[in-house]
Amino acid sequence: MAVTRVDGSYFIPQVQREIKQDLDKDAFLRLLVTQLANQDPTNPMDDRDFMAQMAQFSSLEQMVNMTKQLEKMAVTNQTLAVSYIGRVVAFYQDSGDPSLPGIEMAALVQAVWFDPKEGIILETDKGDIRLEQVIGVA
């Protein structure tokens, strides 16, 4: 879009573009289509190469979908953990001896913490426990 100045010269505004650092599935598909459109007609792309790239595209799409589902599950687990505040949970406490099974205990949940390394931590009147240890709620 050119803009005419008062003195008759033209001014073309600079358009800022955000440069993506990651290739997403749309970029991969655009790259593949561009590659097909610009291939040498005397030496077309080998079918095996094309199939390999399509398989990579399919794998990429499945990984993106799986990541989205895992993110949804994480939010669901956080919501579930918050709903335990003020309730009694049953859980297995490690016995300390690998040859013995865990000890079943119950505790009142007082708070919930979201630790990036440990996961979801329930603060109880008997100490902190991980959400994965919970076997029941009362």
71 C-beta neighbours (distance < 10 Å), count: 10
Answering whether pTM is above 0.95, one says no
Say how far apart CA 91 and CA 74 lie, in whole Å. Answer: 20
pLDDT in tens, the chain (138 residues): 555 566 666 666 666 666 666 666 677 778 778 877 888 778 776 778 777 877 887 888 888 889 888 888 888 888 888 899 999 999 988 777 777 777 889 999 999 988 888 889 999 999 999 888 899 898
